[in-house]
Every structure is written in C-alpha cells, then in structure tokens.
Amino acid sequence: MSQLLKKNKNLIYPGFLWFLFFFMLPLVIILIYAFIDNFLRPGTPVNFTFENFLIIFQRKHYLLLLGRSIRISLITTFFSIAFAYPIAYFLAKKTKYDKILIVALMIPFWVNYLIRTFAWKLIISENGIVNKILLGLNVTDVPLRILYTEFAVILGLIYTNTPMMILPLYATISRIDNSLLEAALDLGASRTRAFFDIIFRLSLTGIFAGTILVFIPVLGSFAIPAILGGTNSMMIGNIIENQFIEVGNWNFGSAFTLALALISLAMIFIYSKLFGLKSIYKNQGL
Amino acid sequence: MEKYIVELKNVVKKYGSFTAVDNVSLKIKEGSFFSLLGPSGCGKTTTLRMIGGFIDADQGDIFIDALNMRGVPPNKRRTSLVFQNLALFPHMNVKENIIYGLKKRKLSAEIINEKLKKIINIVNLSGLENRRITELSGGQQQRVALARSLIIEPEILLLDEPLANLDKKLRISMQYELKEIQKRTGTTFLYVTHDQGEALTMSDTIAVMNNGKVIQTDSPYEIYNHPSDVFVADFIGAGNFIKLEGIKKFSNEDYGNMKTDLKNLKNTMEDKENQPQMPAGNENNINQFDKIICTTKYGGSIKHKIRSGVFENIISRNNTEDMVFFIRPEKIGLRHAISIKTSSHDIKNRGENNKSNRTAQENINPEDLNFYQGTIESLIFEGPDIRFTIRSEQIGRLKAEVKNERYFLGLTAGSSIDFFWDIEEGTLFY
Amino acid sequence: MEKRKPVLLQIYTILFFIYILLPIIIIFIFAWNSNEGYNFPLSGFTWKWFVQLFNDSIAKKAIINSVLIAFVSATVSTLLGTALAFGIMNSSLKNKGLFLGLLILPVLMPSLTIGIAVLVFFRTLTIPLGIPSVILSHVSISMSYVVLIMLGRIEGFSGSIQEAAVDLGASWFSSIKDIILPALMPAMLAGWVFSFMISWNEFIVTYFLIGNNVTIPVYIFSQLRFGISPKVNVISVIVTGFTIIMVALYILTRASLGRIKNTRVLKS
C-alpha cells in the first residue's frame, strides 16, 4: 500500500479516542468505585475493599433479587425463543413474503418500548381488556391482579424482546440450504427427524445469538419492572437506579453495576469463543 | 433378459402455464449409466426430482422396480440423490455424513462400521473419516456425497449435475472415477447434465431433452453420429448446417459428370497406383440405401446416402423448405489445393505427407466422396486440433476441424484448399 | 414431497402478528377517545388530548430536546463511525478481531451499565449533566452501530478505487473527498437513520444523564410511573408516526445501496 494510503489508518483515531474516553474510561471508574469505600473526590481518603461485593452475598434481600433477575431473564429468553422460532422458521422457509413481513415486524420493534409497555399496562390493569373479558365470560368474579406482579414483568419483557430473537433466527434459518433437508429425507430420515437433525441443529447459532441479544438487556432492564412490576418484582436495574438516584451509595451501586457488566461480558466471551463475534452482528439484520 | 429398473409413463409436470415436463416416457436398464442431457430449463432436473420423490408428477406414472411410486415420499423410495451443491451436512464430519442414512435405518454399529469401511474404500476416502466437511477439497466433498448416497444401497443413484462446480481438470478425472464406481458397485446411475461431453464420456444411454420433451434416447455413439433432429445435432457438439434447395436421385447423367470430376481428381493427385475402387459389399448396400444429390442454395451439390424409402417419403411431403444437411467439422477432410501450375515435385511431397493423415482416402472410391474447392477464411490453433473456417462457392461457409499435424503447416487465411467428406457421413434433416 | 401448506404455522404467524401489533393499535385508539378512562366501549372522537399535549410546556420541551439530541448525535456518530470503519477496513491492523470485539461492546452491554458508568464519570469530573452529556454517550453507543452497518454493507468494498485516484494524481484528502465519501454515502445515510432511531428511542442512558431536563422517553416514563393521561397516547402516536417514517427511510437506503452494488457487479 502506498505511503499516501497509510493515512487511512489515521481515520481510526477520532472515533477510537471518543470510544476510549467516553465509554472505556467510565467503565474503569466504575471498576475503581466498586473496590473502594468512599467517593472519588479531591481531599477524600479512600481505602481498597471487597465490602461492596460481600454485601450482595451477605444480605438475603440482595441475593434474592439477583436470583430473581436471573430467573426472570432466563424465563424471558426461553419464551422468546419458543415464540420466535416458529415465526422465524415460517418467514425463512414457508413464505415468499418474508421481506415484507420482516418490515411489518420491524416497525413495532422500533416503536419505543416504553410505549409498548404502556399498552400492556392498559391491557392487564384491573379494569383493562383482559379483566373485562374474563369478567364478561364469568371466568372470574373479581378482577385478576396481573399488573404489578412478576408475571406482568415477564409478560412485558417477552413482548418487547421477542422481535430481537426473530431477526437472528430468521437470518440463520434462511441461510440453511433446503437441499440439506431434502438430503436427510432422501437418506431415510422422517420429517421430524430431518428437522431436528438439520434445521434445528444448524440454527443453534441463531438461538445463541438471540439469547445474547435478549438475555443481556433483560438482565439489565429497569424501566419495565418499574412500570409493570411491584416491590416484589424488582430487578438488579431497579436496585442500581435506587443506589445512584436515591440512596447515593455509589460504591455499592458500582459493585452491582460491575457484576451486571461482568455477567454480560462473560456471555459475550463464551459466545465469541463458540461462534465468533461476527455472527452476532451479522445476524442482526442491520 | 434385460430388466428395466425405472420406467416413466407419460409423465407431465406443470408450473402454472409452464409445462416443465411434457409427456415424458423413459425406460432405464438395471445397472446402466443413464444420462438426461439438455440445456437448462429443459425439464431434466424436474424429471430427476420426480423420480427421487421430491416433486409429484401431475399426470403419468413412475415405476421403480415395477412398483408405482405415486405418493411415496423420498425417504421411502429406494433412490438416493446426489445434489448439485452436494448438500453435505456442515455440522457433521465425513464419517457422520456418510453413515447418516444407515443410522436412520437403525442398523447395528458393527454393520454400519463394516459398510462404512467398504464404501470408504470404493470412493477412496481412507484416512479422512474424521475430517470436517470444510476441510475437504472439492473432489473429496464429491466423494463424500457419493458415499453417503451409495452406502444406503439405493437401486438407483440420482445425480443432479454433481460435477458442475468443479474446475475442468478435476471434472474430467471425476468423470472417469464416477464411471468406475458405477461399474464397481453395479448400481444404476441416473445422471442429469447439460454438459454433452460429460454425458458422452460416461453414459451407456443418453436421453436428450428439450422444452420438457425427450427428443432422442440412444447410445452415445448413435446420439453423436446419428442425431435424430437439428436440435440434437446442434446441442451435441459442433456442426455445419447447410440449407438445401432440393434433392434428387443419383442418375447416370450425374455419373457421367462425376467421371470427369474423377478424372481431374486423379490427374491432380497424380496417384495412378491407387485407382479408386468400389469397396466390397457396396452392392449390398445399394439394396438398402439410395444415393441422392442435394442441391445447396449456392448451386453446389452434395452426394449423400440415405435409407431406401426415405427419398420417396421426402418427395411426397413436397416440402423442401426445411431441408438441411448436417456434417460435423471433424468429418471434413482437408488437402492443400492442387493446381496444374504446381510443380510435380511439390505435389509429390504433399502427397506423401498426405498419407500420414486420414485425409488420404486412397482406398475410397471417389464416387463416394464429396469433393470441393475453397479458401480458408480463418484458422484457430487449439493445441491438439486446428479449426478452419472455409468458404466455398458451392457450399458456403463451413467449419472444419483437423488434427494438429505438420501437413497443415503453412496454411493461412486466404490459402486455397480442397475439402471432402465421405457420402456416408453427415445427416439429412427434413 | 410436495410442499404441504403449513396451516398451523400460518395460523400461528397471524396470531403472532396480532399479538405484536394489537397493543400499539390500542394505544392509537385511545389517543382519540374522548373519555379518560381507557375503557371499552369507546366514548367518542376527540382532538382534545392533542390540544392538551401542545399546551403542555414540558411535553413540547421533550419533543424539541429529543429531535435535537437525535439529530446531533446521529450526525457526529455517523462521521466518527464511518471514519473508524473505513480505517479498520483499509489497514492491516493486528488483532482486528479484538478491536472489533471492543467496539461492539456498547451494542451488547446493558445500556444501564453505560448510563451508570457515564453518570459516575461526569459526576467525578464534576461536569454538569444535561443535553451535552446525553449526546456524548449516545454517540458512543450509536457509533458502534454505525461501524457495524458500515462493515456489513460495504464488505468487499474495494480500496483499489482510492488507489486509482491517487495513481491519477489526487492527494490523499481529495481521494477521500472525491472518491470514497460519495461511494460510502448510501451506507452512511443508513447509518445516520439508524443512529437517529437509536438516539430517538434511547431511554435508560438518557434517564441517568439528562439531569433536570427531559426527552420524550423520559417524559413518557415519568407519566407512566405517576398516573397516566391520554396525553401519553398522543405523544406515543407522534413518536410512532415519526418512527415509521424513519424505518421507511432506512429501508429505502438499503434498496438504493442494493442498486449501487448491482451496478458495480455489472461493471466488473
């Protein structure tokens, strides 16, 4: 490459410096905060400590909350796979209108999730549509309490995140050549067997990519539990918000934030070892 | 007695208003290498996929081993398909790919292993059992696909242009290998291809298809030498199509003219030892064949032999519009033009060189030879062969192809040339 | 093996689409319903919630702020991200994979972590919160998306056109200005629209960094937390309408890029 074109490399710097300064450096500061016992301020002495992490494991309240967050995230991920898979399969293999339908899916996906969450609040509230129907059919005498429960939170999370799962699944399934399925049938496999041996097995990449794209944001969500959930369905995000906005314990809040960051980094790392990072963004349909 | 393993009876497949397969009937001999040959979109792949059970026929019946296959899914047919893109399972290694079919048949591990060993030997894949598919070369992937299908011992192996994606050299070596594997296993191969060379090399029988119809079913030799119509002639190899104005039977008058021609020929060739003679058995042929003279639109005449009765048939149709004479380039012999002015020494030399190639024709009665004079328009040197475009006043423009021999050195565009062919060569389409 | 009609799958797909679209339709309906109670049967058509929204000074401020933030951060992140992606593609970076892995972290990490980290960062440096700090961190998130879009869309983009320009006597700067920028323009437009939508919808990071100010998502959130009024429906209708326009734009950039790719194939 000519000397002149080596200048292209310099184009990296503005963006990269921005990234270092406004993304990496803040993370480093959080890292520091998690291991000290006071604010980073001129004139304030600080000590190194593990106390902030120990509190998470010492207080039952926080352990419960951590467990609940992971449980809610797992359930949400599982159901979004279950709901999304047939759709992705249909779009990829059973229709020629897939491009249009994907657009139809993309539009609600791009509608702000707070608005979509708001809609669910209307639907499941005590005098919402669901309760109106149930009362009307005499299934129940008193309106069901759905809003402000863990169930409501999961409902909202599944609803807002399922489209995230469809895109990577659709991308991987549509890349599977139909002749592979035909070959399996030709060699004597039943339809069901051939589906699991070939389509499902080869779409695992998409399932994992979708899992990354759903599990991580769900684990870090705080708006949906704040709107649809009650005090018994708070998640990590709500605790973190609480620590920074109301309590003002930055050290403990940073420890929780760091834990969240580490869980997601670990997942991203495992995924990239298994399939390569490229397949995550390749499958997002950008 | 010969057994037909596959039989198609009046099979039709339509896609909307487009008829992909139009009333096709075929019989495929057990243990033979049968090719469906035709341009893309001719219906050959559709036919193959109907036999494999991937597509249902709209009308007609497909029999495999005398059983009607209507409604039988691919996994219940004793066929196996080698896909054009091979369709190897990317998440399985070589061994897992090959034994996939046996596993679905729930055979014991020992039997599977035994069969695996056998097939690996047949297709030359030893040592590669645990390789990933992506680590194999194109030829090796080909073999895996073949092994995967052969191991389930299908009665017919269906092959959908499996060599199309290989480079030329590998394709040719795989052709021989495929033929060899077919002989070794004795399995019936039904091979779909658009490559006429491939079909000619490997097949016992070729069915040429066009526009959803089977045009001709014959041995490679017959297909090449006696194409049944213009399409087949044109599709299989190169050829010269000479438009005709009329035909007539060979008469005494013609014979008289010919004598003068012959005399000239003899003189110019200065070849008195080799008097043209009627080859033995010619008389018998006359009983079955008619000699005719075709007139080209340039006024030239082409002698030709046709089966007796055909001439009357053509005349009775009273339609000479579509008459075409077809001759392959390699059937045309070439000789340096011999003019009276050329020195005898020169001619003699040429005559000697001439003996070394098939253009000598000393033992053939010149009466059985079409002989013309022309000029070379262009020539292309192609390694083993030299291709000429010749122009003659009587015939028009012709392609001729001769072996790369020293005799043709020195010929350039513009050179005068003599060319000729045996009256038994070529085909008359009417 | 004729393709059987996947009837069950079709029914499921239809139900799924109803499930995905119905809540949004309900939001729309109540934006024009005259009663405040969110109850069926509907009580009549009205524009009064629209009027109320436009008399709400906070809502107006939210709309202006949202547009401003999205516009500025989309523009900055498109420029930075394009330069970054082009630099990565055209240099023999060692550890390109690791570099890219780091760059896509803002896309994959929970935005909560990013919001908190930047909050702590600004507070530690005693930089006041507000619109500038929101823009700063929106840029670092959407810049990653722009890099991904650029890498995905201009894969196989040949550096030889730039070499040709330099060979014909162009300076480095003019080779970028005359050749590269026009060639990358469709992908950059896509990146801009995408960044705009990211920023337009972003809630969590904004919530932590906006200080006393407000954007549309922050406004909706506060409304949802403390009693709801059909004004939220109206602002949702506006946001959604705008989103649909942007999605349409994004799809159009994709189509036009497809044409450019095709012409290049034809020429080669």
Segment B237-257, tens digit of pLDDT: 888 999 888 888 876 566 555
C2 touches B at CB < 8 Å: yes
* Predicted pLDDT of residue C14: 94
Rounded CA-CA distance A83/A161 in Å is 11
- ipTM for this model: 0.88
Contacts of A13 in chain C (CB under 8 A): 87
Each residue of B375-410: pLDDT tens digit? 999 999 888 999 999 999 888 899 999 998 888 888
Contacts of B152 in chain A (CB under 8 A): 187-188
* Predicted pLDDT of residue B264: 53
Determine, yes or no, domain membership for B233.
no
Provide block-wise average pLDDT over 10 residues at a time, chain C (268 residues). Answer: 73 93 88 80 85 90 95 96 87 75 88 93 91 94 91 68 76 82 86 92 93 93 82 90 85 63 35
- CB contact (8 A) between residue B87 and residue A187: no
Question: Which of A4-18, A204-218, B225-239 is the least confident region?
Answer: A4-18
* Predicted pLDDT of residue B287: 52
Q: How far is C1 from chain B (nearest CA, A)?
A: 4
Last residue of a domain, one of B198, B227, B256: B227
Determine, yes or no, domain membership for B204.
yes
State which residues form the domain around A217.
Answer: 61-282
Determine, yes or no, domain membership for B234.
no
Contacts of A178 in chain C (CB under 8 A): none
* Domain CATH code at residue C233: 1.10.3720.10
* Domain CATH code at residue B110: 3.40.50.300
**CB interface of A with C, residues 42-81, below 8 Å:** none
Q: How far is C3 from chain B (nearest CA, A)?
A: 9
Percent with pLDDT over 70 in chain A: 95
| pLDDT above 50 (res B341) | no
* Domain CATH code at residue A166: 1.10.3720.10
Residue B310 shares a structural domain with residue B408: yes
Each residue of A149-178: pLDDT tens digit? 999 999 999 999 998 899 899 999 999 999
* Predicted pLDDT of residue C230: 87
* Predicted pLDDT of residue C154: 66
Determine, yes or no, domain membership for A33.
no
Rounded CA-CA distance A242/A222 in Å is 10
* Predicted pLDDT of residue B274: 43
Contacts of B105 in chain A (CB under 8 A): 188
* Domain CATH code at residue B343: 2.40.50.100
Chain C interface, best mutation among A3, A23, A187, by max C CB count within 10 A: A23
Q: How far is A27 from chain C (nearest CA, A)?
A: 5
* Predicted pLDDT of residue B293: 87
B83 touches C at CB < 8 Å: no
Mapping DSSP onto H, E and C, the string for chain A reads CCCCHHHHHHHHHHHHHHHHHHHHHHHHHHHHHHCECCCCCCCCCCCECCHHHHHHHHCHHHHHHHHHHHHHHHHHHHHHHHHHHHHHHHHHHHCCCHHHHHHHHHHHHHCCHHHHHHHHHHHHCCCCHHHHHHHHCCCCCCCCCCCCCHHHHHHHHHHHHHHHHHHHHHHHHHHCCHHHHHHHHHCCCCHHHHHHHHHHHHCHHHHHHHHHHHHHHHHCCCHHHHHHCCHHHCCHHHHHHHHHHHHCCHHHHHHHHHHHHHHHHHHHHHHHHHHCCHHHHHCCCC
Percent with pLDDT over 90 in chain B: 48
* Predicted pLDDT of residue C161: 74
| pLDDT above 80 (res B17) | yes
Determine, yes or no, domain membership for A44.
no
| pLDDT above 80 (res B26) | yes
Residue B397 shares a structural domain with residue B350: yes
State which residues form the domain around B364.
Answer: 240-429
Nearest chain B residue (CA) to C3? B55
Determine, yes or no, domain membership for C28.
no
* Predicted pLDDT of residue C252: 81
Of A26, A108, A268, the CB nearest to C24: A108
Phi and psi torsions of B105, nearest 5°:
-90, 5
- CB contact (8 A) between residue A190 and residue B75: yes
Residue B133 shares a structural domain with residue B253: no
A247 touches C at CB < 8 Å: no
Tell me what the pLDDT averaged over chain B comes to: 83
Last residue of a domain, one of B227, B258, B283: B227
Determine, yes or no, domain membership for A107.
yes
SS3 (DSSP) at C33: strand
- CB contact (8 A) between residue C224 and residue A10: no
Determine, yes or no, domain membership for C4.
no
- CB contact (8 A) between residue A119 and residue C251: no
Total structural domains within chain A: 1
Burial (0-12, 13-18, 19+ Cβ within 10 Å), B49: buried
CB A281 within 8 A of CB A275: no
A100 touches C at CB < 8 Å: no
Determine, yes or no, domain membership for A169.
yes
Last residue of a domain, one of B185, B201, B227: B227
State yes or no: cis peptide before C23, omega within 30 of 0. Answer: no
Residue B19 shares a structural domain with residue B69: yes
Residue B269 shares a structural domain with residue B387: yes
- CB contact (8 A) between residue C2 and residue B74: no
Determine, yes or no, domain membership for C131.
yes
Q: Name subunits touching C (3+ CB pairs < 8 A).
A: A, B
Residue B155 shares a structural domain with residue B264: no
* Predicted pLDDT of residue A231: 83
* Predicted pLDDT of residue C155: 63
Contacts of C103 in chain A (CB under 8 A): 19
Residue B182 shares a structural domain with residue B214: yes
| pLDDT above 50 (res B31) | yes
Determine, yes or no, domain membership for A138.
yes
SS3 (DSSP) at C168: coil
Q: How far is C171 from chain B (nearest CA, A)?
A: 43
Total structural domains within chain B: 2
If you write DSSP's letter for every residue of C200-237 in order, what string do you get? HH--HHHHHH-TT---HHHHHHHHHHS---HHHHHHHH
Contacts of C143 in chain A (CB under 8 A): 15, 18-19
Determine, yes or no, domain membership for C197.
yes
| pLDDT above 90 (res B221) | yes
| pLDDT above 60 (res B349) | no
A180 touches B at CB < 8 Å: yes
State which residues form the domain around C244.
Answer: 57-267
How many CB atoms are located within 10 Å of the residue B308 CB?
Answer: 13
- CB contact (8 A) between residue A112 and residue C216: yes
**CB interface of B with A, residues 103-122, below 8 Å:** 104-105
Determine, yes or no, domain membership for C24.
no
Question: Which of A195-209, A247-261, B125-139, C80-94 is the least confident region?
Answer: C80-94
Total structural domains within chain C: 1
